[in-house]
Amino acid sequence: MKTNNSMKTKILWAAPLAALALVLASFTLLKPEKKAKKTFVLVHGAWVGKYAWDKVKPLLEKDGNKVIVFDLPAHGDDQTPLGEATMDNYVKTVSAYINKEPGKVVLVGHSLAGMVITQVAESIPNKIEKLVYLSAFLPQNGQFVLGIPDPNSLFGPNLVLSADKSSATIKPEAIVPIFASDCSDDIKKMVVERHRTEPLQPFTAKAAVTEANFGRVPKYYIETLKDVGVSTNLQKQMVAANGHVVKVFTIDSGHTSFFAKPTELAGILNSL
């Protein structure tokens, strides 16, 4: 009789347990998968260094992503001579960091670095998951920065050229209006204190891209709506001329959204 009671108990519990198993299985199937974490390579633009990403990097890392930042030659704390700070060396520097990674990366370029990430994508397209242009130059084949008209930019009128015209600084009174007009006082102070002479060879380097390489890498653009560096009008023109931008995002900031609105910027990058 004890054996029969035991069997009855098992039978009584079998149906509810089976139903519970079905419910749990259904819940598992419906539960959304966690978004895969990414490797971001963030490339700063002219007249700044890797410190440009100091506020954005920890926000991306907080979400589990890997974030790689560095100084381009002759920028930030890098002491490369100005004469060696060429577009080719920029591209080699960025490519070297990317090639150390086992998989593909999301490559982000700000301002002048739009030209840099363009050439990197042409060189190693199989290593780039996405290209992200942050208020950056998005060139067509044969274009170069100084050859792209931007009448609404404050860069041109405020350049102070070296005697041989191989490098330039920005007039002191224009540094904050261009780089930090909508930023905190500590950022305004920093951009003035850390301003360095900028090599101009990369501004004259022509983009050399093909549809077979650069053309097949997915591109995203983040427009900055109060930009007087790379003006908002020029940003829109470049996006329209490219014709292959997957999606355009906007941030209501000046030229340096990584200083002014890092949380919003990190949110956009993390959504890609």
Domain ranges of the chain: 39-271
Residue 205 pLDDT level (bands cut at 50, 70, 90): very high
Percent of the chain with pLDDT over 70: 87
pTM higher than 0.95: no
Per CATH, is 39-271 categorized as 3.90.226.10? no
pLDDT in tens, 35-82: 679 999 999 999 999 999 999 999 999 999 999 999 999 999 999 999
Distance (Å, whole) CA 121 – CA 213: 7
Cβ-based neighbours of 250, under 8 Å, separated by 6 or more? 222, 223, 224, 225
Q: Report the relative pairing of strands 167-170 and 159-161 from DSSP bridges.
A: antiparallel
Cβ-based neighbours of 138, under 8 Å, separated by 6 or more? 114, 118, 219, 221, 238, 239, 241, 242, 245
